[in-house]
Structure 1
Amino acid sequence: MSIFTKKGSEAVAAATAEKDGKGSALVSFPSGTTIKVRVKSVEDSAEYYAYSVFKKVNTFVPKEPALRNAKGYITANPTVWDRAADHFYGLAKQAKEAGDEATAKEHSDQAYLFKGKPRYVMGFGSLETGEDIVVDLSAKQAKTVNAAIQKYAKKLDKVAFELSKSGSSTDTTVTLTPILDMDEDLTDAERANFVKCGEKPFDFALFEDCLYVADETEQIKNLVVAGFDIGLLGLTLGAGAPSSGGEITDEDMPQF
C-alpha cells in the first residue's frame, strides 16, 4: 500500500480544491529560503497524510495508512492515531449533545492534534544542480504554488521560477514567482541547468524516499510521547524507549 493518497493530476486537484523521512531528493526549505527551479509539468506532486504533535512528536507517515475516499475521509484500516482522534471526537460529540460547548471544543481540539492532515511533496528541477529535487509543503502552501503553476502552464518550457518561503509558524507562506528575464537574472550555469532539467520528466520514484515512515509499534510509542493514554484504546507498550520520528518543520503546527 502506497503512503501517497493522490499523485499527479489528482494531487494537484486536491491541493487547489477547498476541502471539507528524509531522502536524497528532499531539500531543506526553511523560512527565508529561495530556490531557483524549473517546473517540469503541472502534475509533479503527491499527497500524503501526516501525523505529529508540535514540539512533542515529529512528523511521520504510517507504514500502513488508513484507506480514504476521494474527500479524504477514512473508510477502513484506521491507524492507532486515527483511533485516538476518534476517541476525542466521540467525547466532543457527547459533550455537545449534553449542551457543554466548552468541553466539546476542548475535546475537538484534542482530537485535531492526533488527526492525520494532508501534505504534499512537489517535484522540481533545480537550476543549481540540474537534478530533480523535492520540497514538502502544507496543503495551504501547495494550493498557492499550484495556482502559480497553472497560471503559467503554457510557458513552463520557457520560464524559470523562484520558489520562496517566508514568515514563521502558522504565518509561513510559500510563493512561486516567474523569472521573466532569464538572460539577465540567471547565470550561464543556471540557464544550462534549465535546459538540462527539461530533458526528462520528473522521476516520481523519488517521492517514496522523502518521508519518515513509522510502523504501528512506533506509532503507539509516539502516542505515549504525546501524552495519550493508550489504555483507552486497549493498547499496551512493551519494552523500548519512545521515539518521536522524523524532522519537525515550521508547518507541523495545526493550520489546515
Structure 2
Amino acid sequence: MVLAGTSALAMLDDSGQGASGNDSSFSKFSSGTKFIVKALAPDKIASFDSYGIFKDATIGDDTFRRVNSFEPETPSTKNDKGYATDNLTPWDLAANYYNEQAQALIEDGADKDSATVKPLRAKAAVFRLKQRFILPFVDLDTGALIYIDMSKLQAQAILKVTKKQHEKGKLNRLAFELEKSGSGKDTVVSMTPIVDIEDELTDKQQANFAKVDVDAVEPNFNGLTFVANHAQQVENLVATGFDISAIGIEAPEKDEELPF
C-alpha cells in the first residue's frame, strides 16, 4: 500500500497508474512539461510498489505485452536495496524465474553481459517491482494541489532542493519551476527556484502564490494508484503473455469478478 510521510521519505535513503478511487489523480508529467509551483515540506510525500509494462517489450523471441501499472494489495518484503525477498507477488515470481536462470549460467562461468545471460536479465527487469514516489505541489497557475509520479532518482533530485529550502524556512517564500526533459535513460527532472517573483510570475500566479500557505496544505494520496489483489495480478501477468504455469500458478476462475 502507499507509504506516506516519513515512511516514504526513508525509502529515498540510498541504504535503504490508473486510479482506484475518486479522491486524487496524477498530473501528466511527460518530457517537455513545465509547472510553476510551490513545494510542500519534504515529508509530505508517498511511495508505492509499482508493477506493469509501459509498452510492448520484445526481448529475443519473446514479446511481453503492455499492462497498466498497479500496486499490489499485499506488498512483498524487500531488502535494503529494494529487491523483493519474501511474501512474493506473482510478478516477483516471474522476475525470479528469469533471474534464477541467469544466475545459474553465471555460476557456470558465463559473463553477466553475455548473449545468453543478458536477455534473461532483461526479461527479469520487465516484471521486477519499481519503487515509485508521489510528490505533491501547488500549481500556481490554478492554485490546486497536483501529484507527480517519479522514480527514486528523480524524487531524490527534487527532495534535495526541497530539504535545503525547508531547513532555511523558505518554502512559503519561494516559487519553483518544475520541469521534465529528455527521454529514456536520459530523462531529467529538475526544480529551480524563481528569483524574481514579481517579474517572472503572471498576475494569476502571484495571486495564488500569496494566498497559499504550504505549511497548511495536507496532501490526499487516496485513489492515486490502482491496487490489485492476487487474482488481478495473475490476470495482468497472463495478459503480458507470460506462461504462469512456469511458476506454478493457475489462472483464476473465469467467474471471479475482475475490473478488466
TM score, norm. by length of structure 2: 0.82
Aligned to 1:207: 221
Aligned to 1:139: 152
In structure 2, how many angstroms separate the alpha carbons of the residues matched to 1:244 and 1:170?
33
Aligned to 1:253: none
Residues 225 and 244, structure 1, Cα contact 8 Å, conserved in 2: no
Q: What are the within-5 Å matches in structure 2 for residues 42-121 of structure 1?
A: 42-55=42-55, 56-101=66-111, 102=114, 103-121=116-134
Superposition CA RMSD, Å: 2.5
In structure 1, how many angstroms separate the alpha carbons of the residues matched to 2:245 and 2:214?
55
Give the alignment partner of residue 14 of structure 2, picking from 10, 13, 18: 18
Q: Give 1:70 deviation, angstroms.
A: 4.9
In structure 2, how many angstroms separate the alpha carbons of the residues matched to 1:190 and 1:212?
32
Q: Give 1:41 deviation, angstroms.
A: 1.0
In structure 2, how many angstroms separate the alpha carbons of the residues matched to 1:182 and 1:173?
24
Q: What are the within-5 Å matches in structure 2 for residues 118-133 of structure 1?
A: 118-133=131-146
Deviations 1:47-80 (A, max 9, x none): 2121122311222111222133554343532110
Deviations 1:161-193 (A, max 9, x none): 111111222222111011111111122322221
Aligned to 1:165: 180
In structure 2, how many angstroms separate the alpha carbons of the residues matched to 1:168 and 1:100?
32
Secondary structure in 1 matching 2:222: helix
Q: Give 1:198 deviation, angstroms.
A: 0.8
Asked whether 1:218 is paired with 2:232, we answer: yes
Residues 1:152 and 1:200: Cα distance change in structure 2 (over 3 Å): closer
- What residue ranges of structure 1 are gaps of 5+ in the alignment? 246-256
- What residue ranges of structure 2 are gaps of 5+ in the alignment? 56-65
Deviations 1:108-148 (A, max 9, x none): 22211111011100011121222222111111211111112
Q: For residue 225 of structure 1, what is the amino acid of its counterpart?
A: A
TM score, norm. by length of structure 1: 0.83
Q: For residue 88 of structure 1, what is the amino acid of its counterpart?
A: Y
In structure 2, how many angstroms separate the alpha carbons of the residues matched to 1:90 and 1:110?
11
In structure 2, how many angstroms separate the alpha carbons of the residues matched to 1:190 and 1:151?
23
Aligned to 2:192: 177
Q: Give 1:39 deviation, angstroms.
A: 1.0
Residues 1:231 and 1:8: Cα distance change in structure 2 (over 3 Å): same
Aligned to 1:191: 206
Q: Give 1:208 deviation, angstroms.
A: 2.3
Asked whether 1:7 is paired with 2:12, we answer: no
Residues 24 and 222, structure 2, Cα contact 8 Å, conserved in 1: no
What percentage of residue pairs aligned between the two structures are identical? 36
More displaced stretch, 58-67 vs 98-107: 98-107
Residues 44 and 124, structure 1, Cα contact 8 Å, conserved in 2: no
Secondary structure in 1 matching 2:173: coil
